[in-house]
Amino acid sequence: MQTGTSQRDDQRQTARRRRKELLEAADRVVLRDGPEASMNAIAAEAGITKPILYRHFGDKGGLYRALAKRHTDALLASLRAALDAPAENRRQRVEATLDTYLAAIEARPQVYRFLMHPADNGQPEPEQGFDVGQHSAPLLRRLGEELATVIAERLELGPGGDEVARVWGHGIVGMMHGAGDWWLRDRPCARGQLVHHLTDLLWGRLSLADDRVGAPGF
């Protein structure tokens, strides 16, 4: 016979598994509908009613935050892997990191648009009052802070280095987001060309900074 503790553990595991299934259903709808993805469509895809979806996520904002964390975690893991992969020089490593970000938004443009832009008609779902733009700023801030940590770990920036790393982290994320958003919409050049041009832009003080002793080169 199960104890109260083991029953609670089973319930938590079941809830986590169900939440993962619902996020996967939401992903499928977002891949199809982009910013127009609705709670009704996600509930239908998952084979449940909308109140059950609310029970797991609260509202569309809660579902958005869960999806944003899911995709941001995956993107950050890819960026770290690109930074730590063998490279002939620091510029090649920077190019690989920029390309990783751009390849990710190119591969799943509907997911990117869902996370970063409101629906084309500019109207949130009336019953939820949801505004994607209101929620995308924390996602970009998290990316900036995470990249700042990586920069501080990999480069010796001297006095005030933590401040410099945070400025660079948020500045690089802002650049990648702004340039990537424009590029994804207009496609003015090949991805490789965009990576090359952005690396040229970054290739100022970065090229002069010394690597930390024993740390992977940035």
Rounded CA separation 45/206 (Å) = 47
pTM score, two decimals?
A: 0.78
By percentage, how much of the chain surpasses pLDDT 70?
Answer: 83
pLDDT at 169 over 90: yes
Q: What is residue 122's predicted lDDT score, i.e. its pLDDT?
A: 44
187-198 tens-digit pLDDT: 999 999 999 999
Contacts of 197 (CB under 8 A, 6+ apart): 189
Q: Is 155 helix (H, G, I), strand (E, B) or coil?
A: strand
- Ordered by start, the domain boundaries in the chain are 4-211
4-211 homologous superfamily: Tetracycline Repressor, domain 2 (1.10.357.10)
CA dihedral sign of residues 50, 53, 58, 62: negative
